Structure formats: C-alpha cells, structure tokens
Amino acid sequence: MPILNVTDRDGSEKQVDVTMTESLMHVLRDAGYHIAAECGGAAACGTCHVYVDEAWLSKLPEAGEIEAEMVDLLEETKPTSRLSCQVQMDDSLDGLKVTLAPEE
C-alpha cells in the first residue's frame, strides 16, 4: 500500500502508511492530523485544505468544479491547493507529498 509524506502545519515531517483505499482526508485524520472536516468530505467546508507537492500535482486527477469553487473561497490558497477529501488514495500515489494548509 502507498506511503504518504506529510508536512504538518508546524513544519514537522512524517511518513504515513496508507492501509485502505480512502480519501486523503481520512488518511490524514486516521494518522492523527487535525483536520476538522466539518462537511464530512463533501467539498463544502475547506477545512481539509492541503498543498500538494508540485511534482505530484499533475499525477492527481484535476479538481472538479465543486472543489475548485470551494478552494476559491479559501484565503491561504496556492496553485497547488487541493481539498484532501476529494483526493482518492491508491497505489499510483505511493510517495505523495502534501503539506497541511493553515487553519482558517
């Protein structure tokens, strides 16, 4: 199963084993990262905002319209911003690097 490289909001880095095919948001929460996920993964709250490493961005399916609209409403966005609830983990993302965005 894939490994995820996560940088927390304080800059600390960790590797996380992905044991199930599930959303990146769930993987991060299961690993103990603080993600409020107020909307439960419906791309409607923005609290699961992450920055994807540039080298990985093109390997992810493009953000859908609802995700893109939600990201537009966030303040701390970068070109690499994604909602982690909309990123489905699978073996093709082994080694994916993400950084948690600041809480808004």
Q: Is 27 in the site for ligand FES (CB under 6 A)?
A: no
Q: What are phi and psi of 31, to 5 degrees?
A: -85, 0
Say if residues 3 and 94 touch (Cβ distance below 8 Å). yes
CA distances from 89 to 3, 38, 43 (A): 10, 20, 16
List the one residue from 45, 93, 98, 101 that touches ligand FES (CB under 6 A): 45
**Contacting range for ligand FES; rule: CB under 6 A; set: 3-11, 35-43, 50-58, 90-98:** 35-43
Residues engaged in binding ligand FES (CB under 6 A):
25, 37-39, 41, 43-48, 70, 83, 85
